[in-house]
Structure 1
Amino acid sequence: MRVLSDLDAACQILWPRVSMIALSRQYNTPKDVFVSCIFAPSRFSRSAAVAVVALSTFATAQLPLRSVSAQDKQPISAGETVAAPAVTDPVVVVTVGSVNQMTQDLNYLTGALGQPQVGGMFAMMAGTFTQGIDTSQPVGVLVPLVDGAPEPIALIPTADVKTVLKRLEDKTGPADELDDGTLVVAVGANTIFIRQVGNWAVLARNRRVLDQAPADPSSVIAQMGADYDLAVRLDMQQIPNSVREALVAQIRQGFDQAMSQQQGEDAESTRQYAQQSMDQLEQMISQTDDVMFGIDIDSAGKRIVLDGSFTALPGTKLAAMYADQKPIPSAFSMVVRDDAAGYFHFASSISPQAVEDASAGVDSMLKMVGQAFQKSDKLDETEAKNATEVVNRIAELVLATYQDGKVDAGAVLLTDAGSMKFVMGGYVADGAEAAAILQDIASKAEGHSDAPRFEFDRETYNGVKMHLIAADVPEKDDEVRKIFGDTVRVHIGTADKAVYVALGDQSVPLMKELIDSAATPSASAATELARFEINLMPILQYTQSVEANDGISSMIDALSRADDPGTLRAVSEPIDNGQSTRVVLRDGLLRAIGGAIRQAQAQQMQQQNSGQF
């Protein structure tokens, strides 16, 4: 067990050293950066949203906000010439579902979570503040750039905005009306201009911007407003190059400052990795075309849906990378099954450019790994050398697999009361090398009293050589013993082009089933790049069988009254020049969360009552 723990210690050594460049990969923790360097071909789909949010936030902060002048409040005289502003299409479009839709959806959500009073409060407030508003239509905000500055335009569904303003006079004061019919109200320190356009009211803080509102606002926001309770669409190419370049310059400045603090032998490798990451981020910012995010509380379907999509500018390198990322027939699609407590499946081609970028990133990271190991006070010289060799061989095998131009992998978890089975399998360029790495780990662990026990070539099943790793579970780890017993047994299978893993003896038949299915790759999921699903009920039942818990009992009770087993599902698919992802939280999962909330509230109330005596 010592070599494995040494590798774990090595990872802990690395985390602080990559923390200064974590932002370059847009991950939450340095550990994520270390993992991402190994799986770099998919970095764009993971970092796109974060890069876009950073850019839009920066743009809003950097562009000058236009103040409202007294001239804006005056009517335009006959014959007076006013220069037409330079206006872009909307950079950002935001929609909020209709009041009717939001009320219905929030009533469902709060009821599913066991907090119906919250939905009732929203309905009461909506009735108070929406008099005069068409509650069947969505609300929208468009943000074009006007003479280089963002100018929000709000679209409110009402056929008589004067009546609405009349009801708000106690908060805004009476509205002034200009000669052309434009209304003016003061909201705090801001002046808002309002114009009636058909059955819509158009609001802006700059009078000239009102002319840029669409003649039929519903044609712009109706679809998004009907599909989602809240949706945001960002058109990156409407943001001026100067703004995007300024953002990149500020990020580079931050990197330079971080790199200047790096000392010692690993400073150069850290700098190289940061530079590669910066290049990737700059590509993302300059070549992104459109980003959309939407959330819909689907009361009719009893679920929550989160949709996200990203597209690259046609003709760019980024667009070419996405064009080369396509679903492929999979040898591991068996993991996608209805009786699973959870599964993950990923089968996609990889573009040559992504492989090239991954190779460069891993080379830099491996230099950092070796240098960090050598400087560690947790590893002696021999242990550092052994850990470096193992990490290098694993990285080389992963890169060789990427160079074959595809990723194909799957994992599945099956549970019920008192039983758990977990297996996974994946394509590798050289299964014999995977077995050799495992044997190398075994030889390096030999002689350590706490080392796991290795058994190689125990049998061969359909061309797959079966190996075993067994490790004793310390007595202090009582919860682990309840799951695995006194010994954890991990079965590993290596084939010419695949690696399989089964957790526990009870999972071996399932692994053999996966091996059998791999002989005939399936194209049944040919429209999907990746799929992930968790079903909560079988997991809760298994957890409760291991150790009873009142909170889990409450969740099981709530979940038993739902039409699904508490499903969370995520599916990614390719689209033209990009990728879309849908995440679905079904009714059972929400009700299980509600059960946990009610249990926590009951415990809190019990504690409060106990404290009164």
Structure 2
Amino acid sequence: MKMKWFVRSSVIAALAFAAPTPADLLYAQGAKSQSASAVIEEAEDASVVVVGLAPVDTMLPNVQHLARLIAGGGGAGTVATLIKQYTGGLDTARPAGVFVELDESGTPSPIACLPLRNLDEFFQQLVIFGEPEDLGDGLYSFNIGNSIYLRKVEGWLVVGQSEDAVLNFDTTVAENLKGMVAKYDLRVQVNPQNIPDELLQFFMSQMQAGIEQGMASNPNMSEEQAEAARANAEQMMASFQEGIEGTEKFVIGLAVNKADKKTMLDVGTKFVEGSKFATQIEKVKGSMATLAGIPQDASMMSAQSLQLIAPEEVKQLEDTMSSSIEAAFKQIEENAKNPEDAAKAKDFINRLVELVMDSAREGKMESALNITVEKNLNAVGSFTVADGKKVEALAAEASKALATEKDVPVKLQVNTGKHAGANLHKLTVPLPPEADDSARKVFGDQVTVAIATTPKAVHLALGKDCDTVIKSTIDRVTAKPSSPAEMVKARFNLTQLLTYIQSIKSNPVVDAMLETASGGADKVMVDSKVGDRESVVRITFEDNVIKAISSGAKAAQGGGQGGF
């Protein structure tokens, strides 16, 4: 029976952690976007991990809301009953939390802080699972296979795995919980700077031992391959350690906005002052984007991203690509018809890699995506490059090589025209005779890609209307040549995707999801903000996205055939 209490309590805790809702959400409830610092700030403590839960009074309606989206009204009622049944005696107007510290051996010491209203009432609901032992000085113990210690102190019930941990816990840090969940239902914060140095050093030594073991298990590698593999592994280790040492806080926050029909997940990082990451964030704040005209919010899917590349990262990229090139060259030598063809292929790869490295050395790389499905599927992908002319030169060589291959039906035409200062090209690949009807509905008898090159960018448009789409893409970029950059931004419309899939080939799963999603509130959105040494990425799920996924899962379990 005691284990049953433990299992039930664990289930309830899991439900509480998974289902959020504060009433005073600002950033999370769609008000004017705040600075990143508002997501990160709170008082300091020595914990490595802190988990904060919003008060039950504000959480419960959102728990029910999410349960209703996923499982209907019955599920919402069951969840509410369980939570109310096991929160007797607690102050449901105050937050709860868990604080985890690590000792030098890496052993975690979790302490739960429950907001206490009436201790006798709290124990009364657990009486069927056993009586607590009163140890004096407000300290109690429960035996559920292992001893759990509880202490009543200053309006909190402190719960831990040892007497010392409970008695020595400073409840003043629990006051941080109110600020932590002011904008979230659930917030998890990791404080890497509180990881004991001894533990970090031990972990790094274990990684080094793993590298040595991996090298020993591959005796057939050449000396050059072994050196490249070792360099890559050591760079990964260095990057990991740099990430730990350069990060002050890492935060995940979950919030539900029942009124606006949205669930939001924030992922935020605050970096150590003077670290490489803090410097990069400052550069992002002043960066301008050149591809911001490509994404359109009304499209089925759109995205844009900015990546800043530090000089030391360029060196790491060079080393990584060096080992990959060596492997590629070995394959070329084994499969080339003659040494002359092998030499040409190697030269082509070297020039392509050098173009990538030149682009990385500029310290900034942008990419953008836009996909529409109004009539046909048309997808645009764009990225910045160091030198568009070098891309054209490589394309011209590839075109000549393809033309000499009689058994390869791929056709690449270079410089087929111009539009608004961009040079146009085209790639066509016939579908094989065995291609199914769905593929032919999407692409026609051949896959066609329109390509445009400019001095600093390459644009690719895939689809039946690619010639028109590539030109409209260039026009949008020309009309919006520069705008403040965002680390990442994306939009996805589930109804548009499902409608298009249904037009190609319907199935019960898609039909069930579309029936739900077509009522609106059907988007997934990704946004980002930067502040002082801080960055926050928000992923927003509108209600009918969650509901449609649940509907699709139920249809699949009910015997729906097909999928996508």
TM-score relative to the length of structure 2:
0.83
Q: Please state if 1:392 is matched with 2:334.
A: no
Relative to structure 1, is the Cα distance of residues 604 and 362 closer, same or farther in structure 2, using a 3 angstrom cutoff?
Answer: closer
Deviates more, 1:517-526 or 1:312-321: 517-526
Q: Please state if 1:591 is matched with 2:547.
A: yes
Q: How far apart are the structure 2 equivalents of 1:276 and 1:382?
A: 36
The answer as to whether partners of 1:537 and 1:556 remain within 8 angstroms in 2 is: yes
Partner amino acid for 1:338?
Answer: D
Q: How far apart are the structure 2 equivalents of 1:125 and 1:429?
A: 59
Aligned equivalent of 2:85, options 121, 128, 138: 128
The answer as to whether partners of 1:473 and 1:487 remain within 8 angstroms in 2 is: yes
Aligned equivalent of 2:160, options 204, 213, 218: 204
Aligned equivalent of 2:53, options 73, 96, 99: 96
Deviations 1:343-380 (A, max 9, x none): 111235443333343333333432343335545x7998
Q: Please state if 1:260 is matched with 2:219.
A: no
Partner of 1:280: 239
Displacement, 1:403?
Answer: 1.4
Partner of 1:539: 497
Partner amino acid for 1:551?
Answer: V
Displacement, 1:157?
Answer: 1.3
Partner SS for 2:297: coil
Partner SS for 1:152: strand
Q: Which runs of 5+ in 1 are unaligned?
A: 1-86, 606-613
Q: Which runs of 5+ in 2 are unaligned?
A: 1-43
Relative to structure 1, is the Cα distance of residues 302 and 385 closer, same or farther in structure 2, using a 3 angstrom cutoff?
Answer: farther
Deviations 1:5-31 (A, max 9, x none): xxxxxxxxxxxxxxxxxxxxxxxxxxx
Partner of 1:40: none
Displacement, 1:158?
Answer: 1.5
Partner of 1:571: 527
Relative to structure 1, is the Cα distance of residues 452 and 147 closer, same or farther in structure 2, using a 3 angstrom cutoff?
Answer: closer
CA RMSD, Structure 1 to Structure 2 (Å): 2.8
Partner SS for 1:227: coil
Aligned equivalent of 1:221, options 177, 188, 203: 177
Partner amino acid for 1:292?
Answer: V
Q: How far apart are the structure 1 equivalents of 2:560 and 2:376?
A: 33
Partner of 2:70: 113
Relative to structure 1, is the Cα distance of residues 597 and 283 closer, same or farther in structure 2, using a 3 angstrom cutoff?
Answer: same
Partner amino acid for 2:302?
Answer: Y
Partner of 1:50: none
The answer as to whether partners of 1:165 and 1:175 remain within 8 angstroms in 2 is: no
Partner amino acid for 1:419?
Answer: N
Partner of 2:462: 503
Q: How far apart are the structure 1 equivalents of 2:131 and 2:336?
A: 70
Aligned equivalent of 1:449, options 407, 415, 431: 407
Partner amino acid for 1:450?
Answer: V
Q: Please state if 1:519 is matched with 2:485.
A: no
Q: How far apart are the structure 2 equivalents of 1:382 and 1:100?
A: 75
Relative to structure 1, is the Cα distance of residues 320 and 536 closer, same or farther in structure 2, using a 3 angstrom cutoff?
Answer: same
Deviations 1:21-62 (A, max 9, x none): xxxxxxxxxxxxxxxxxxxxxxxxxxxxxxxxxxxxxxxxxx
Q: Please state if 1:236 is matched with 2:195.
A: no
Partner of 2:144: 187
Q: Please state if 1:162 is matched with 2:103.
A: no
Relative to structure 1, is the Cα distance of residues 602 and 523 closer, same or farther in structure 2, using a 3 angstrom cutoff?
Answer: same
The answer as to whether partners of 1:155 and 1:217 remain within 8 angstroms in 2 is: no
Relative to structure 1, is the Cα distance of residues 520 and 351 closer, same or farther in structure 2, using a 3 angstrom cutoff?
Answer: farther
Relative to structure 1, is the Cα distance of residues 272 and 177 closer, same or farther in structure 2, using a 3 angstrom cutoff?
Answer: closer
Displacement, 1:243?
Answer: 0.5
Partner amino acid for 1:414?
Answer: T
Partner amino acid for 2:66?
Answer: L
Q: How far apart are the structure 2 equivalents of 1:125 and 1:397?
A: 60
Q: How far apart are the structure 1 equivalents of 2:73 and 2:353?
A: 52
TM-score relative to the length of structure 1:
0.77
Partner of 2:24: none
Partner SS for 2:314: helix
Q: How far apart are the structure 2 equivalents of 1:522 and 1:352?
A: 26
The answer as to whether partners of 2:45 and 2:173 remain within 8 angstroms in 1 is: no
Aligned equivalent of 1:360, options 319, 341, 352: 319
Relative to structure 1, is the Cα distance of residues 196 and 541 closer, same or farther in structure 2, using a 3 angstrom cutoff?
Answer: same
Partner amino acid for 1:253?
Answer: A
Q: How far apart are the structure 2 equivalents of 1:387 and 1:97?
A: 60
Deviations 1:250-279 (A, max 9, x none): 111111111122223333322222222222
Partner SS for 1:355: helix
Relative to structure 1, is the Cα distance of residues 394 and 105 closer, same or farther in structure 2, using a 3 angstrom cutoff?
Answer: farther
Q: How far apart are the structure 1 equivalents of 2:340 and 2:70?
A: 55
Q: How far apart are the structure 2 equivalents of 1:169 and 1:537?
A: 51
The answer as to whether partners of 2:431 and 2:446 remain within 8 angstroms in 1 is: yes
Q: How far apart are the structure 1 equivalents of 2:409 and 2:513?
A: 40
Partner SS for 1:248: helix
The answer as to whether partners of 1:155 and 1:201 remain within 8 angstroms in 2 is: yes
Partner of 2:439: 480
Partner of 1:62: none
The answer as to whether partners of 2:104 and 2:198 remain within 8 angstroms in 1 is: no
Q: Percent identity?
A: 24
Q: How far apart are the structure 1 equivalents of 2:525 and 2:431?
A: 33
Partner amino acid for 1:313?
Answer: V
Q: How far apart are the structure 2 equivalents of 1:573 and 1:340?
A: 23
Q: How far apart are the structure 2 equivalents of 1:118 and 1:385?
A: 66
Partner SS for 1:314: coil
Displacement, 1:103?
Answer: 2.7
Q: Please state if 1:410 is matched with 2:387.
A: no
Relative to structure 1, is the Cα distance of residues 356 and 350 closer, same or farther in structure 2, using a 3 angstrom cutoff?
Answer: same
The answer as to whether partners of 1:456 and 1:467 remain within 8 angstroms in 2 is: yes
Relative to structure 1, is the Cα distance of residues 196 and 362 closer, same or farther in structure 2, using a 3 angstrom cutoff?
Answer: same
Partner amino acid for 1:307?
Answer: D
Displacement, 1:88?
Answer: 6.9
Q: How far apart are the structure 2 equivalents of 1:604 and 1:431?
A: 48
Partner of 1:331: 290
Q: How far apart are the structure 2 equivalents of 1:378 and 1:137?
A: 71
Displacement, 1:134?
Answer: 2.0
Deviations 1:92-113 (A, max 9, x none): 1112333333432222123223
Deviations 1:293-326 (A, max 9, x none): 1222332332221111223322233433444344
The answer as to whether partners of 1:325 and 1:350 remain within 8 angstroms in 2 is: no
Partner of 2:537: 581
Relative to structure 1, is the Cα distance of residues 370 and 481 closer, same or farther in structure 2, using a 3 angstrom cutoff?
Answer: same
Partner amino acid for 1:512?
Answer: K
Partner SS for 2:88: coil
Q: How far apart are the structure 2 equivalents of 1:232 and 1:387?
A: 50
Aligned residues: 512
Deviates more, 1:595-604 or 1:488-497: 595-604
Partner of 2:204: 248
Alignment of 1:24-173 (within 5 A): 89-145=46-102, 150-173=108-131
The answer as to whether partners of 2:253 and 2:266 remain within 8 angstroms in 1 is: yes
Q: How far apart are the structure 2 equivalents of 1:369 and 1:466?
A: 30
Partner amino acid for 1:469?
Answer: L
Partner SS for 1:115: helix
Displacement, 1:506?
Answer: 0.9
Q: How far apart are the structure 2 equivalents of 1:323 and 1:268?
A: 36
Partner amino acid for 1:184?
Answer: S
Partner amino acid for 1:530?
Answer: V
Deviates more, 1:286-295 or 1:357-366: 357-366
Partner of 1:422: 379
Displacement, 1:201?
Answer: 1.4
Partner amino acid for 1:351?
Answer: A
Q: How far apart are the structure 2 equivalents of 1:205 and 1:234?
A: 21
Partner of 1:29: none
